[in-house]
Structures are given as C-alpha cells and as structure tokens.
Amino acid sequence: MTQPQQQWTETIEAQHSLFDLKLSEVWRYRDLVYMFVKRDFVAGFKQTVLGPLWFFINPILTTVVYLVIFGNIANLSTDGVPKVLFYLAGVTLWNYFSSCLTGASSVFTSNAAIFGKVYFPRLVMPLTIVISNLMRFGVQFLLFLIVFIYYLIQGEVQPNIWVLATPFLIFLMGCFALGMGMIFSALTTKYRDLQMLLGFGVSLYMYATPVVYPLSALSGIWKKLAYYNPLTGIFECFKYGWLGSGDFSAILLAVSSTIIFALLAIGTVIFNKVEKSFMDSV
C-alpha cells in the first residue's frame, strides 16, 4: 500500500525573485492584520482620559488655527465656500494621509523586535497602519459630515455627483501613503536621517497641496507644478464633489491615479527586496 504524498505547508528558499511579492501569502495572514488593527486602536487610547474623543479634538483645533491664520490674517480665498467647512475638509483628508505616511515609513525600525522573533509577511505591517488610520479617518469624516449638513441646510454648499467618488479618493490616498511609506521605510534601514527629514518634509508638503487654499488661487508655473502633485486631484475632486467648488477635471484625477499606482508598484518591489536583509542593518 503506497503512502500518500506529503504536501509541504512552508518552503524555505535561499533566494527570491525581485518581483516575487507573495501577495497571496498576505491574504492568508489577514487574521493577523485584523489583530494588529485592533491592537493599534485599543492601545492608542487605553491610557487616555478622553479616548476616541481625540479624533474630534485634533481636527477641530487644527481647523480653528487655520481659520484664524489663513482665513482671517492671510485672508486666503476659499472659492466662496464657508471657511470652516473648507478647512475642515482639507484637514480631514490631510490627517489621514500624513498619519499613514509617517507610520508606514518607520515599519522596519519600529517593528524590528517583532520581525526578529517570528515570521509573517512583512507587508502586513504597513497595510495594518493604513487600515488602522482608516478607522480614525471615519470618525473625523463623521465630524465633517455634521458640519457639512449644517451648511447644506443653510444653502451655502452645492454638492454634485462627484461625492460618489469619495471611496475611490480615500483608496488612492491610502495607496499613495503606502507606496511612499514603503519606499522611505526601506531607505531608513540604512539612512536614519531620512526619518527626521520626512517629518519636516511632510509639513512642507502640506503647503504644496491645496489643503488651506484652492487650486484656483495658483497661477503660472506654480499651478502647472501642482497638477503633478498626486494629492492635488484627490483634494480638488473631494472639495468639488462635496462643496461644489474647485478647479477640478477628470483628467487631473486620472494623472493623480497613474502616478499613485506607479509609486505603489515601485514601493512594493523595493519593500520586498529590503525585507529579506533589513535585519542586518537595523
């Protein structure tokens, strides 16, 4: 009687192809992603007094600061949109992107202890960060909806069909933050200074993105450069759909999508290459 052939569950190999991303393996570890997301959400507010209320406090205080500085002192245009709603829309989107990018950029350095003890697909960690921040974004987006409904009843905003593109816009932001975060996480394993530079760069990048000003406020070479900012199409589409104003076109969103998906592919390949040897340099 012949014995049934054994099926191996894991295979240890000496080398992997650069494009051998093993995305199916990430799907097999989806329960681990859920566990990490739950851990991040609970641990982040377990020892705080106000807990999840900080999700509301942060955008409210930031919006007030922008209202005073950019709305009253600098008197920047908001394309006729109520200033509170205009700044809150920008803050809500920017908080999600910046938190995802800064979190994903330190995956290797901040999780070196875990990576050195147990195996799991390393891509799980940056994915966890993007999903965890998505829950925080949902809470802040609820605040935006409350303020939006108030001004909608007042007749001061005119949303249109592009509001339906909101899930796709959030998906694009997550992909952009994930792609750039993986690139920086791979580089910071050898060059730690980049981590500090990134924190400063993210702050500057906000002013290169139509967060506190509309795209229509730019002109000449600055407006042309803004078209190649992947976040420009996302922010303008969101404001155009929900607030009914903005210098938006489908071509602008298509350019943003193309750049973002290209960066995501590049970031995934670089991350896959570095994850095999990063423990030697961390």
Q: What is the pLDDT of residues 187-221, one digit of tens each?
A: 887 777 677 788 888 889 999 999 999 988 888 89
Query: How much is the mean pLDDT over the chain?
Result: 83
Indicate whether 19 belongs to any domain: no
**Distance (Å, rounded) from C-alpha 251 to C-alpha 227?**
10
**Distance (Å, rounded) from C-alpha 238 to C-alpha 235?**
5
> Are 66 and 212 a contacting pair, CB within 8 Å?
yes
Q: Of the spans 25-34, 172-181, 244-253, which averages the highest pLDDT? A: 172-181
- Mean pLDDT of the region 38-67: 76
Indicate whether 47 belongs to any domain: no
Indicate whether 4 belongs to any domain: no
Predicted confidence band of residue 65 (pLDDT cuts 50, 70, 90): very high
Q: 187 CB contacts (<8 Å, ≥6 apart)?
A: 194
pLDDT at 173 over 90: yes
pLDDT at 52: 66
Higher pLDDT, 78 or 45: 78
Q: Which of 18, 27, 17, 8 is nearest to 120 (CA)?
A: 27
Provide the 10 A C-beta neighbour count for residue 146. 11
Number of domains into which the chain is organized: 1
> Are 265 and 242 a contacting pair, CB within 8 Å?
no
Indicate whether 148 belongs to any domain: yes
**Distance (Å, rounded) from C-alpha 15 to C-alpha 256?**
35
pLDDT at 6: 64
Q: Which DSSP string do the residues of 81-115 spell out, in sequence order?
A: S-HHHHHHHHHHHHHHHHHHHHHHTTHHHHTHHHH
Residue 179, domain extent: 25-37+52-280
Indicate whether 6 belongs to any domain: no
**Distance (Å, rounded) from C-alpha 126 to C-alpha 128?**
5
Indicate whether 102 belongs to any domain: yes
Indicate whether 127 belongs to any domain: yes
pTM greater than the 0.95 cutoff = no
- Mean pLDDT of the region 231-237: 94
Q: 39 CB contacts (<8 Å, ≥6 apart)?
A: none
Indicate whether 83 belongs to any domain: yes
